[in-house]
Structure 1
Amino acid sequence: MATVTTGTYLGEPASASMAEIGVCAEVSPLPAGFPAKFERPLAWNGLEIKQEDYACVLTASDLVEINAAIEYFKSLELDGSCVSRDTFPLPQLGLKLDKLGLDLYQGKGFCLVRGIKPEAYSVEDLTLVYLGVNSYIGGQHGRQDGRGNMLVHIVADNSSSTQAEHHRHSNKSISFHNEESGDIVGWLTRNTAAKGGKCIIASAYTVYNVLAETRPDLIRILARSDWPFALPRFHCRPVIFHRDSNLVMNFGRTPLLGNTAHPRPETLPSLSERQIEALDAIEAIAQATQLEITTQTGDMHFINNLAVLHRREAFVDGDQAKRHLVRVRLRSPELGWELPEELQKEWDTAFSEEGNQTWHLEPMPSGYFPLRMYPN
């Protein structure tokens, strides 16, 4: 019988077995091809992990390389979207970042790069550093919305009730979820909140292992293709997939249930009680095994979006301490997993070479649209 060793699950002490806390122990077969357990580094428990296990702290020589790369890139007189390994060379630090990228796909699925001091750089140079690190971590950037935004600024905005409820601009807590596209999701912390705002992650593999042992019936529910996602378009698909020996989890409560910022049309199907139970089970297990990452200004942290869930705690901004994260979606063409067919369309849209790409250094008003410059 499985034992949860951190946090709480369904309101009971974490040390209690699933039988002791009232989880149905009846056994039903797992979906065809799904394993009884994943024995992988991706299946981790947050309380068993220390910061030194996932943090890459930049050294003085690393910073010298970064500053030299900034000057080299500027000498090329290229657009910021052209940052790559070739245009932002990091001879020794690049080897460390390569290992982090490999660990995102084949190791524990998350990492932190610490040591950049934002006050030492202009906004333009700080963004170059971020893009430079990205080029080693994932290599390829993806669009994050229909406007072609490549850099999404996550800041609180209570200018309207709709804005205040949007995940990007709310200061409320957010439940565990995945982004709708991108192998890797990264965040640069340009500023922290006065209080709260921790980034919290959990292993989808651990969630699966607990459910596979104690509630395989919910695994079957999650693997069915009748989940009615409403965003970014209406489509039905599973929440979990098993492809090429990898577990892939991809979902969010807003696309399935709606919220104030994204009201769900009444004409769309609603979730069943069993589906809601499955979502609640994911949330409970994830919270019981989560890892809290307290970021500092200048931190860059990355997760495997296919295997690691993330959420945010509520936060309060001060007069000067206003939380500001810059999010990217990445993928590595060399290390990327085989994607389920049901997710391929979102990845193709995000990473296609065709289409607009907009790179904003600062948050823009919601009604903003970029003007193109044409020669006279």
Structure 2
Amino acid sequence: MTDQTQQPDDPSGSTGADLADSTSDASLQRSVVRSAQIAADLDVHPGRYRMLTGDRPTGHLHLGHYFGSLRNRVALQDKGVDTWVLIADYQVITDRDTVDSIQERVYSLLTDYLSVGIDPSRTTIFAHSQVPALNQLMLPFLSLVTDAELRRNPTVKAEQDATGGRPMTGLMLTYPVHQAADILFCKANVVPVGKDQLPHLEQTRVVARRFDERYGRAGDGGAPVFPAPDALLSEVPNLLGTDGQKMSKSRGNVIELRMSADETARAIKKAVTDADRHITYDPEGRPEVSNLLLLASLTTGRDPRAVAEEIGGSGSGALKALVTEAVNEHLAPVRARRAELETDPAELRRVLAAGNAHARDVADATLDEVREAMQMVYA
């Protein structure tokens, strides 16, 4: 197994001790500096790292996911990083009453992962609900955090504000600890996140530190049970939905990876633009037009301003035609691979079963370490 504890030195001295400070300017700058160090080291020593990321199977993956995270996962995998991808099916019920179609959505996620280039021989893909030892870590981890800390978490606060008086579930309140268990069970030491997600990762760092202070081996001069994971910050392209609003599966304003070329063309044809026929790249003043130009840029590798100059006064119709062609051409191999995978459900089941089995082995070993540290081994 790859040595997950060997990492480049962290000059910040950050221990994750102060959750309240995790969004401060100083803390953010430390995270930015640390992320840059890791990004540079990944190119030289990829075997030092185990990366975990994942998705909730609440809908089908779309271009926002593709450009925001999926391509980066493939890049890390291809560098030689030990890559883990979680299908967070248990997390669907943190804020939802039903799990309608969840099995279909889990396999849809898996199909998308494989079609974009995630390789199950190099990446462990697993479902949260299929790893009992992972979820058992929740009990000792919950003893390490306070009610007040959980309620300060940005996701929990947002959910509380959005409930309209509806009581928040205990599962939602403990959502940050779920994430800590997801990351720590396999001893991931790097997690790709945006800057707005740093408080979530800080909660995980706090859990790791407190566990070792209370139960671990660090006080005896040994290595900690859990590494404190670092953030790998990435600049996610700010893609809007086809209606000019935030891209969201619930809004129906996305271009899903599973769409056909014709369905993609229809979605782009309906995309909101503006009345100015001359096409320019101006994200502040013309966000809808600029969003289409950004999409063209991401799929062709060209500068969006150059694309705008090429179209000039030909209008939004010409822009949409160019974007449609670029998106469909870019996604053609992904769609071909997806169509092939959809004809072989047995292979999808085999891939997920293998990933689940590997995750269970690792989780069982981690739980054994936890029990030993807590002196709860009785036989």
TM bin, normalised by shorter chain, reads: under 0.3
TM-score normalised according to structure 2 size: 0.25
The answer to which structure, 1 or 2, has the higher relative contact order (CA under 8 A, 6+ apart) is 1
Structure ranking higher in helix proportion: 2
TM-score normalised according to structure 1 size: 0.26
Which structure has the larger Rg over C-alpha atoms? Answer: 2
